[in-house]
A and B are shown apart, each in its own frame.
Chain A
Amino acid sequence: SYVLTQPPSVSVAPGKTARITCGGNNIGSNSVQWYQQKPGQAPVLVIYHDSDRPSGIPERFSGSSSGNTATLTISRVEAGDEADYSCQVWDINNDHPIFGGGTKLTVL
């Protein structure tokens, strides 16, 4: 089955840029979503279709995807961005969404 690989953790200082990767075979040909999840809360969609932002999501959040890697970029990181971030694509063979294991973003 299709597997998505994320680093368990990423740390960044306030005001800097955080990059969270999601690796998968030929992920660039899929549609990648990113979800932010704060402790005790439900996931919130922050990026869809690789690089589109839902209304209400700051422009500081951006996404890209090419080859075997998708990347969520958070510019000018704030303390409030500290959360778990999970990528999601479609298992084309089985017609269902699959998730990466999640990355904990720590703001130093």
Chain B
Amino acid sequence: QVQLQESGPGLVKPSETLSLTCTVSGVSVSTYYWSWIRQPAGKGLEWIGRIYSGGNTNSNPSLKSRVTMSVDTSKNQVSLKLTSVTAADTAVYYCARDGGWLQPLEYWGQGTLVTVSS
């Protein structure tokens, strides 16, 4: 059974870096793509980016300059860093297993709320 669990600070100060980890169980992170998605309160889903275990990444053009993703196969985790955050980055952040080109985001973590505030 594939399970994903996001973790990280729930509060980040403006201009600082948001760092989240997604711990995966039931499947190796060495297979599939892994995507990050976020959802501001009361708004729709926004794809942030994806990473494959080989290190290949792809990011939303609107966030690309601020996004870094990595994979730790020894811990079966994927990570997200978003730099220079503002209040507009306040959202629930999800990780999801990404089947790749034209495939669905089949498994999602429960999400973690990150608030950007001083």
Interface residues of A, Cβ cutoff 8 Å to B: 1, 30-31, 33, 35, 41-45, 48-49, 54, 86, 88, 90, 94-102
- Chain B residues 17 to 45 lying within 8 A of chain A, measured CB to CB, are 35, 37, 43-45
Given A45-B104, A48-B104, A102-B45, the answer on whether A97 and B109 have CB atoms closer than 8 Å is no
> What residues of B have a CB within 8 angstroms of the CB of A100 in the complex?
44
Known contacts A86-B44, A99-B45; decide if A33 and B109 are in contact (CB<8 Å): no
Task: List 8 contacting pairs A-B, 8 Å CB cutoff, sorted by A.
Answer: A43-B45, A43-B105, A49-B104, A86-B44, A94-B61, A96-B47, A99-B47, A101-B44
Which residues of chain B have a CB within 8 Å of any CB of chain A?
Answer: 35, 37, 43-47, 49-50, 58-61, 94, 98, 101-106, 108-111
Residues in B with CB closer than 8 Å to A90 are 101-102
Nearest CB of A to B43, in Å: 8
Instruction: Please determine whether A102 and B44 come into contact, CB atoms closer than 8 angstroms.
Output: yes
Given A33-B104, A94-B61, A97-B105, A42 and B94 touching (CB < 8 A)?
Answer: yes
Q: Can you name the residue of chain A whose Cβ is closest to the Cβ of B44? A: A101
Contact B44 A42 (CB under 8 A): no
A99 touches B46 (CB 8 A): yes
With the chains together, A90 CA to B106 CA distance in Å?
15
16 A-B pairs besides A95-B58, A100-B44 with CB distance below 8 A are A30-B102, A33-B104, A35-B45, A41-B110, A42-B109, A44-B108, A45-B104, A45-B106, A48-B103, A48-B106, A88-B45, A88-B105, A94-B61, A96-B59, A96-B60, A97-B105
